[in-house]
């Protein structure tokens, strides 16, 4: 329409010098500009809104899928890389959607419309312009796969950089303590340089395409002007038609060039799409029966390991547990001891269904947990690892993590049992004190007390303590265990001992050696029947002497 307005302006207005024709042409141009501006607003708003909704849905689906995967996936993957994919790569998808719906569709419509109007004015000149389009698109389509591979490598490396930065800053105290700042700086610079090489190669190809596109478009327009000028001289075409045709030709050339550039530039978002959909297509290694329910009462929550053997998926040839069998009666306080690597923590991870046994089965009550809904199994169990997970926020929010709807009295009671209230009184904001990322403002013992408070607030039938009080002194540990046993009366407590003194009064102690049950009994019984247990006791007596 703008080209037609320019044609009328030149042929009718400037030639015949009718001011009314000039005014009409300018008015038409202004009206078209207003329509173009309004339509551009709605196009931009709705396209961006659609892109945000789509990318939000993709990100949500990816996170939902990730949180349904086996724990082994996260042990084998870099968390920083996953986060980079969820944030940076999904943003690239949003850009791809916006460019596709806005830039490409607009340019495609402009290309088709301008080509149609060009043929109306001059078929000969239109064929000249049309011959340029394959010269723009074919090279990009040929090299697109190479550019996409470069882009995918760059995105993967970008994720590795994010993962390493996360790891470095998370372990900043260790990094400083061993004077490794310069080594980590050098590693970062090396990774950045490799990333720049990928980016440079991709940008070089893009620049070649861009320069070639501009040259081809300008050459075509020059050729059109030359041929068109000769037609004006021979009166085959009017000056207004020529100006209008050149206007449409410029639009067609710019549209084709824009589409060609988009195809080249879109290889990076396409690579991002592949990485994100790799996350979406991940499936759990094991399929669980989610239809069964577990509704056990305290008297039936006996725990039985029947000939259980296990190897971690990442180390299938190394047997961590070897045909181990034992039974724990509901309401007992059970200690587990053994040398490092004996398989103690693995027993707890299997009970939590972080993994399934390679052979054998694990029973809670009369139900095999392998065929029982995982959520229902974990409703019975609270777990406290040696290195507790502390979240950014307050002491209160960390305790209430296991039970977000807990009443204030429940939170205070759980904090009192573990001794948290003893040091909270000295803090200005009490339980509402901000503790920093990963609890950086807390001591190791305070973190462990918070983790145990979180566990007992959950009101479990079974409490698993994996050296959960290792950061406390012996006296504080003894006092805390006494409070825990009182609080968890009639509930099952299974504790991997950091100090044997904390489990001396256990109903029974399991001695694990090389993935097998070496002995079981009370403290006094094991001192006379188990060489391993006696040696472990003697070593601790020497270490505390």
Domain assignment present for residue 286? The answer is: no
Classify burial at 535, counting beta carbons within 10 Å of its beta carbon; exposed 0-12, middle 13-18, buried 19 or more.
exposed
Measure Cα distances from 36 to 22, 41, 46, 98, 487 in Å.
21, 9, 15, 19, 72
Domain boundary among 462, 484, 501: 501
Kindly state the average pLDDT of the residues 199-219: 74
* Residue 543: pLDDT band with limits 50, 70, 90: very low
pLDDT of amino acid 143: 65
Structural element, H or E, at residue 111: helix 105-121
Kindly state the average pLDDT of the residues 68-74: 78
Residue 320 shares a structural domain with residue 426:
yes
* Residue 23: pLDDT band with limits 50, 70, 90: low
Secondary structure (DSSP) of 460-485: -SEEEEESTTTTS-HHHHHHHHHHHH
* Residue 7: pLDDT band with limits 50, 70, 90: low
272 vs 259: CA distance, rounded Å: 20
What's the number of domains the chain is made of? 2
Domain assignment present for residue 146? The answer is: yes
* Percent of the chain topping pLDDT 70: 84
Residue 273 shares a structural domain with residue 316:
no
Question: What is the CATH number for 462?
Answer: 3.40.50.300
Summarize the chain as % helix, strand, coil (round to 5).
65, 10, 25
Whether the pLDDT of residue 418 is over 80: the answer is yes
359-364 and 367-368 beta bridge pairing = antiparallel
pLDDT of amino acid 177: 65
**199 CA to centre of own chain:** 23
| Mean pLDDT over the full length of the chain | 80
Under 8 Å between Cβ of 281 and 270: no
In this structure, of 166-170, 194-198, 443-447, the range with the lowest mean pLDDT score is 166-170
What angle, 0 to 180 degrees and rounded to 10, lies between the N-to-C axes of helices 90-98 and 267-280? 130
Kindly state the average pLDDT of the residues 352-367: 90
Residue 212 shares a structural domain with residue 266:
yes
Q: How many CB atoms lie within 10 A of CB 276?
A: 21
Domain assignment present for residue 533? The answer is: no
Q: How many CB atoms lie within 10 A of CB 388?
A: 23
Residue 174 shares a structural domain with residue 305:
no
Whether the pLDDT of residue 211 is over 80: the answer is no
Measure Cα distances from 543 to 124, 340, 423, 502, 530 in Å.
97, 16, 29, 16, 20
Top mean pLDDT of 24-38, 205-219, 469-483 is at 469-483
Question: pLDDT (tens digit, 9 = 90+) per residue, 252-287?
Answer: 777 776 776 676 666 667 777 778 888 888 877 655
Under 8 Å between Cβ of 351 and 303: yes
270 vs 116: CA distance, rounded Å: 32
Residue 269 shares a structural domain with residue 414:
no
pLDDT of amino acid 522: 93
Nearest to 205 by CA among 132, 158, 248, 145: 145
Domain assignment present for residue 26? The answer is: no
Residue 214 shares a structural domain with residue 329:
no
Residue 305 shares a structural domain with residue 273:
no
Residue 250 shares a structural domain with residue 309:
no
Nearest to 402 by CA among 358, 351, 455, 366: 455
In this structure, of 101-105, 318-322, 467-471, 536-540, the range with the lowest mean pLDDT score is 101-105
Q: Tell me which of 348 and 497 has the higher pLDDT.
A: 348
Whether the pLDDT of residue 168 is over 80: the answer is no
Domain assignment present for residue 524? The answer is: no
495 vs 334: CA distance, rounded Å: 6
Residue 316 shares a structural domain with residue 438:
yes
Domain assignment present for residue 2? The answer is: no
Domain assignment present for residue 509? The answer is: no
The residue segments making up the domain with residue 428 are 298-333+353-501
Top mean pLDDT of 136-140, 203-207, 502-506 is at 502-506
Question: pLDDT (tens digit, 9 = 90+) per residue, 108-127?
Answer: 877 788 778 778 777 877 77
Residue 487 shares a structural domain with residue 404:
yes
Strand partners, 492: 462
Question: What is the CATH number for 154?
Answer: 1.20.1560.10
Top mean pLDDT of 6-15, 131-140, 405-414, 536-545 is at 405-414
Nearest to 141 by CA among 226, 205, 92, 195: 205
What the block records as the tokens of 473 is 């002194």
pLDDT of amino acid 413: 92
Q: How many helices (H) and strands (E) does the chain have?
A: 22, 10
Whether the pLDDT of residue 102 is over 90: the answer is no
Residue 357 shares a structural domain with residue 441:
yes
Residue 312 shares a structural domain with residue 232:
no
Kindly state the average pLDDT of the residues 363-389: 87
pLDDT of amino acid 104: 75
269 vs 147: CA distance, rounded Å: 11
Domain assignment present for residue 531? The answer is: no
CA-based radius of gyration for the chain? 36
What angle, 0 to 180 degrees and rounded to 10, lies between the N-to-C axes of helices 474-487 and 408-417? 140
> Helix, strand, or coil here: 250?
helix
> Helix, strand, or coil here: 326?
strand
Measure Cα distances from 39 to 46, 47, 49, 109, 111 in Å.
11, 12, 15, 14, 18
- Global pTM value: 0.71
């Amino acid at each position: 329409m703008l080209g037609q307005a320019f044609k009328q302006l030149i042929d009718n207005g400037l030639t015949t010098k009718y001011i009314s024709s000039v005014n009409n042409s300018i008015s038409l141009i202004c009206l078209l500009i207003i329509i173009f501006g309004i339509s551009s607003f709605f196009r931009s708003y709705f396209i961006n809104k659609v892109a945000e909704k789509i990318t939000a849905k993709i990100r949500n689906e990816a996170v939902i899928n990730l949180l349904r995967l086996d724990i082994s996936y996260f042990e084998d993957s870099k968390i920083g890389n996953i986060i980079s994919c969820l944030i940076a790569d999904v943003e690239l998808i949003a850009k791809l959607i916006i460019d596709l719906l806005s830039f490409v569709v607009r340019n495609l419509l402009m290309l088709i419309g301008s080509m149609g109007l060009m043929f109306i004015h001059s078929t000969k000149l239109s064929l000249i312009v049309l011959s340029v389009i394959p010269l723009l698109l074919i090279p990009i389509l040929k090299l697109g796969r190479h550019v996409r591979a470069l882009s995918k490598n760059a995105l993967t490396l970008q994720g590795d950089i994010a993962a390493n930065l996360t790891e470095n800053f998370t372990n900043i105290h260790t990094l400083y303590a061993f004077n490794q700042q310069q080594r980590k700086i050098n590693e970062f610079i090396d990774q950045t340089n490799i990333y720049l090489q990928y980016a440079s190669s991709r940008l070089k190809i893009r620049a070649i395409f861009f320069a070639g596109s501009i040259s081809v478009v300008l050459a075509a327009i020059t050729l059109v002007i030359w041929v068109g000028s000769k037609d004006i001289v021979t009166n085959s075409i009017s000056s207004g038609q020529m100006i209008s045709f050149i206007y449409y030709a410029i639009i067609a050339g710019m549209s084709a060039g824009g589409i060609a550039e988009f195809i080249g530039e879109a290889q990076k978002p396409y690579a991002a799409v592949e990485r994100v959909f790799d996350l979406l297509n991940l499936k759990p290694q094991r399929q669980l029966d989610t239809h069964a329910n577990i509704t056990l009462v305290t008297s039936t929550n006996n725990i039985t390991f029947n000939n259980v053997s296990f190897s971690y998926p990442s180390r299938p040839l190394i047997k961590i547990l070897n045909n181990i069998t034992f039974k724990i009666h509901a309401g007992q306080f059970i200690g587990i001891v053994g040398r490092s690597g004996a398989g103690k923590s693995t027993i707890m991870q299997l009970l939590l269904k972080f993994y399934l046994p390679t052979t054998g089965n694990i029973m809670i009550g009369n139900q095999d947990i392998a065929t029982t809904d995982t959520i229902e199994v974990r409703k019975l169990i609270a777990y406290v690892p040696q290195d507790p997970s502390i979240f950014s926020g307050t002491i209160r929010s960390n305790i209430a993590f296991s039970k977000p709807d807990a009443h204030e009295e429940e939170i205070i009671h759980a904090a009192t049992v573990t001794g948290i209230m003893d040091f909270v009184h000295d803090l200005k904001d009490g339980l509402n004190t901000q503790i920093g990322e990963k609890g950086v403002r807390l001591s190791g013992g305070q973190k462990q007390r918070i983790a145990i408070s979180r566990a007992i607030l959950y009101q479990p039938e079974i409490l698993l303590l994996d050296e959960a009080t290792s950061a406390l002194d012996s006296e504080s540990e003894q006092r805390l265990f006494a409070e825990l046993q009182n609080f968890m009366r009639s509930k099952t407590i299974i504790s991997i001992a950091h100090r044997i003194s904390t489990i001396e009064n256990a109903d029974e102690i399991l001695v694990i050696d090389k993935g097998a049950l070496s002995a079981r009994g009370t403290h006094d019984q094991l001192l006379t029947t188990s060489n391993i247990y006696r040696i472990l006791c003697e070593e601790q007596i020497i270490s505390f002497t």
